[in-house]
Structure 1
Amino acid sequence: MPLPLEAVLFAAIGLLAGLVALKVLPEYYPMARGLTVGTGLCAGLLSGLVIRFTLADGDPVVVLLLTAVSTGLLTSVLARPDLAARHGSHRRRRG
């Protein structure tokens, strides 16, 4: 797969990770939404390129899956569950 196409996919993975983090756990990300989405974007591009060059002859599907996992981990660094619990703004799931 050519690098420009992979870079677009890495950016899409990063944007998706940032938006999902804000949608699923908004109380864990009290800072500006742009910071979370921007961090997801940068994490997707950076981790995708590092993984692509590390696994030079790797399967593109494996590269994309590893990029998604590492982007999720890097985006979660911004999470502040301690602030959400202190302010009592976390949602309780009924089940």
Structure 2
Amino acid sequence: MLVETMTFALIGLAVGAAAAALLPGYFPTSRSLTVATAVVAAMIGGLICDFSLDGRQPAVALAVSAVGSVLLVSVLARPERAAPRARRRRPA
């Protein structure tokens, strides 16, 4: 149980760090909030899935942990505040 919990936390840390590093313009809030949200979401999602599956399928719990973390971090994203992208003109 301890190893799974640490794995869930590492998944959340990886998701949060990747989101903050790869898309910094999308997250106007602090990086620590982005990473903390990812870690907490991964741990809660993974533990709920692990308890509901009775610990029989740890791979599913890891996948649910990652998906839950990505989904909750995406709630923090603000693409309208990101730097404007170069618009491509379509030929007439």
Give runs of aligned pairs for residues 1-95 of structure 1, distance below 5 A.
Answer: 3-84=1-82, 89-90=83-84
Identical columns (%): 43
In structure 2, what is the Cα distance between the partners aligned to 1:39 and 1:14? 8
Larger C-alpha radius of gyration, 1 or 2?
Answer: 2
TM-score, L = length of structure 1:
0.82
Pairwise CA distance, 1:58 = 3.4
1:57 Cα deviation after fit: 4.5
Q: What is the identity, as a one-letter code, of the residue corresponding to 1:29?
A: F
Divergent runs of 4+, >2 A: none
> Which consecutive residues of structure 2, in runs of 5 or more, have no partner in the other structure?
87-92
Q: How many residue pairs were aligned?
A: 87
The separation in 2 between residues aligned to 1:17 and 1:66, in whole angstroms, is: 13
* Matches of 1:31 and 1:6, distance apart in 2: 29
Structure 2: distance between partners of 1:15 and 1:91: 28
TM-score by length of 2: 0.85
**Structure 1 spans left out of the alignment, 5+ residues:** none
